[in-house]
Amino acid sequence: MAGLGITCNSKNLLSKCKGMYQHFYDDGVTDGNFTTHYVVLAYEIKTGCSLGYLPKEQHDSYKWLSEVELLIDKNVHKYTKWYFQEGQNADASLINKN
């Protein structure tokens, strides 16, 4: 939470692992001479804390959406939508076997 500039009591945090996701990009983060592959371990975290102020170092604006709004919004990247769509995580076949 420190990365968001939020201080919370850990007793108030609830977390759930959403799975492992893979993101592939045709260009590199520093230049376009190579591709990029990210492996993401996604967690859903409920904080009970106010998110009235969020840092703007990486994003200059934020938009709050319901899950339905997020999934139909054309401005939301497909990789973001995957966190809300069943079976899009890279380890889905492993998780569903249990």
How many structural domains comprise the chain? 1
- The pair of structure tokens assigned to 15 is 């977390």
Are 28 and 35 spatial neighbours (Cβ–Cβ below 8 Å)? yes
> What's the whole-model pTM score?
0.68
At 25-64, the pLDDT tens digits run 887 767 767 888 889 999 888 877 777 677 777 778 888 8
Chain center to CA of 29: 18
- Provide the residue type at 79 as one letter: Y
68 falls within a domain: yes
71 falls within a domain: yes
At 1-28, the pLDDT tens digits run 556 666 666 677 788 888 899 888 887 7
| CATH number (domain holding residue 30) | 3.90.79.10
As a dihedral over the C-alpha atoms of residue 52, residue 56, residue 58, residue 62, rounded to 10 degrees, the angle is: 50
Domain span including residue 73: 13-47+62-92
